[in-house]
Amino acid sequence: MIADQLGIEPLEQPVDAFPESCRSHEMPLPRDLRRHTCRLARLPPVARVLVLGAAGVVGSVLWDGISGNYELRGVDRRPDRSRGIERGDVAKPRSLRGAFAGVDAVVDLATGSALELGWPEVHRDMAGRVAVLEAMREQGVHRYVFASSNHVTGMYEHDEPYAAIVAGEYAGVDPASIPLIATDWPIRPDSPYGVGKAFAEAVTRHYSDDHGLSCICLRIGTVLAADRPANERHYATLLSHADLVRLVRSALDAPPELRHGIYYGVSANTWRFWDLTAAREEIGYEPQDDAEVWRASASAER
């Protein structure tokens, strides 16, 4: 198994959460390779959610935004017991023992967030994703929402018209005619960080097909503590705090038959260049914010 190859120690007493027919290697290849429906297994409604990496910027926004909708349990290497966030490290499965018990879904934010991450840190994050999925499989947790990244396809931004857009050079570019980068385009990671996220998307496909987990990967745009653009690129890539909450709630409450999906997470920005069609059609994500509302004030501040 992948966990064995990466040297990850499994938790005790594995639990098979789905029927054998849902996990069979003889199952025919699904027509839609992004989504696999197992008709014999139905996911229960999501009520209890484990948030991994709950103390970071994204985790804090989500914690405040969805705490009224779900019963939350949080884990982070930096605990905050005043908010119910306990200490744990996804690379050390024993530190998470008990965290997965009784939850319906996991929101996994527990990866390094710096684009400059080196290969050793990325390898650690890759092993951490397998550790989380193994714990879910063994504890019978059904739905996995993973914070992937737009950097899985970041090299497209070196091509036109995307290069002009991220530089804020809009002359001759019609925002209504931008070819939108879709999740079925070939991946083009722009860094080891992006490669690690692409690995996680691939390993969720395996755990979906082979073990019946429902795995939803969200290629998150730019989420900032200030909740406003800080440079020209952000006018295309910003994911506002409110839209982040909408996105993750859409993933948690996605149809029970959705077995695997990859979606971009970005606000309804005038200059966005990622395709939201699948996110709208398959999980009902409807962003409401546009980074352009900040442009006038940003110009005035210069």
If you ran DSSP here, which 8-state letter would residue 254 be given?
S
40 pLDDT above the threshold of 50? no
Whole-number pLDDT of residue 301: 64
Is there a domain that residue 25 lies in? no
The whole-angstrom separation of Cα 27 and Cα 4 is 24
Mean pLDDT of 229-245: 98
Confidence of residue 214 (pLDDT cuts 50, 70, 90): very high
CA-to-CA dists, residue 70 to 67, 133, 143, 151, 180, angstroms? 6, 21, 14, 29, 33
Is there a domain that residue 174 lies in? yes
Is there a domain that residue 27 lies in? no
Kindly report the CATH number assigned to the domain that includes residue 66.
3.40.50.720
- Residue ranges making up the domain that contains 94: 4-8+34-301
Confidence of residue 298 (pLDDT cuts 50, 70, 90): confident
Domain count of the fold of the chain: 1
Is there a domain that residue 67 lies in? yes
281 pLDDT above the threshold of 50? yes
171 pLDDT above the threshold of 90? yes
Whole-number pLDDT of residue 82: 84
Whole-number pLDDT of residue 72: 96
Whole-number pLDDT of residue 24: 34
Coil, strand or helix: which one is 71?
strand
The whole-angstrom separation of Cα 184 and Cα 43 is 26
Question: 148: Cβ–Cβ under 8 A, 6 or more apart, which residues?
Answer: 197, 200, 201, 217, 218, 219, 220, 262
pLDDT in tens, 42-68: 677 899 999 999 999 999 999 999 999
Q: Which long-range contacts (CB under 8 A, 24 or more apart) does 285-290 make?
A: 285/246, 285/247, 285/250, 285/251, 286/246, 287/239, 287/240, 287/243, 287/246, 287/247, 288/242, 288/243, 288/246, 289/238, 289/240, 289/242, 289/243
Is there a domain that residue 117 lies in? yes
Mean pLDDT of 143-164: 98
Whole-number pLDDT of residue 113: 82
Tell how strand 214-220 and strand 143-149 pair up. Answer: parallel
CB distance 213 to 207 below 8 Å: yes
Is there a domain that residue 151 lies in? yes
Is there a domain that residue 94 lies in? yes
pLDDT in tens, 83-132: 889 999 888 878 887 899 999 999 999 998 888 899 999 999 999 999 99
The strand pairing partners of 87, in sequence order, are 76
Whole-number pLDDT of residue 95: 80
Choose among 120, 59, 116: nearest CA to 245: 59
Whole-number pLDDT of residue 34: 41
